[in-house]
Amino acid sequence: MRPLTEDTPKPLLKVQGEPLLAHQINLLKSQVSSIAVTVGYMSEKVSSFALQNGADYVINNIGGGNASWLNRSMFRQCNFQILVITCDNLMSVDLADIEAESRIKPRLSYLISRTSGPGIKGDRIHQTFSRVNAISQEESVDSLATGLQVINPGTLSTNRRFETFHDVWNDLIGSDLLFESRNHPTEWAAIDTPEDLMAANVAKK
């Protein structure tokens, strides 16, 4: 996202007048009991905004991969599902039904996907009867991960450390605990480049 992120961290870049992080907090706050925000680059700015705008606490993740916070004992000892969303994937989705689906089998983890043809980069979900058996970048696979997922940290291998969500997914796949959700966003946009940000800002004007 450079040069836009030279002075402003990505979570605070604005779409439709609101920072990306504000969109995610607003999406979550009506459905979850508490909100944690992981911070890295320009952590003080992101932490300050998060705590002043609905987040309950922040987790310093400086120097770690996007899933390294799951190595902390406070999460590894959790035997319940948590909802995880990246700041740069905006969507409209039925969180209440995602919760209802998750409660049926609370040991499982779920990836929320959307259908996407060639030309859009991202993690593609290979599944058999909704059970995920691989994640790849193959554009021939229609199911695209949206950046929203339900993870049960208590089912992860206790003797393994995690840096990326690919590490997490591979561990869950090995235990037959990762599934593709029945839920899909009605709207979705990935904000990966300045051009994506510009497109999102003109889309509904």
* pLDDT for 2: 79
Does 156 share its domain with 112? Answer: yes
Asked whether the predicted pLDDT for residue 139 surpasses 90, the reply is no
Asked whether the predicted pLDDT for residue 205 surpasses 60, the reply is no
Domain coverage including residue 48? 1-63
Q: Are 56 and 32 in contact (CB under 8 A)?
A: no
Once rounded to an integer, what is the mean pLDDT over residues 74-86?
90
Q: How many domains does the chain have?
A: 2
* pLDDT for 1: 75
Does 126 share its domain with 45? Answer: no
Asked whether the predicted pLDDT for residue 101 surpasses 70, the reply is yes
The percentage of the chain sitting over the pLDDT mark of 70, rounded to a whole number, equals 99
Q: Which of 63, 91, 114 delimits the end of a domain? A: 63
Residue 69 lies in a domain: no
Q: Which of 29, 63, 97 delimits the end of a domain? A: 63
Does 182 share its domain with 100? Answer: yes
Q: How many CA atoms lie within 13 A of 21 on its CB side?
A: 24
Q: Which amino acid is at 191?
A: I
Does 54 share its domain with 94? Answer: no
Confidence category of residue 144, pLDDT binned at 50, 70, 90: very high
Once rounded to an integer, what is the mean pLDDT over residues 112-128?
90
Once rounded to an integer, what is the mean pLDDT over residues 84-99?
94
Residue 205 lies in a domain: no
Residue 20 lies in a domain: yes
Does 96 share its domain with 1? Answer: no
Asked whether the predicted pLDDT for residue 204 surpasses 70, the reply is no
- Angle, vertex CA 197, rays to CA 195 and CA 200, nearest 5: 110
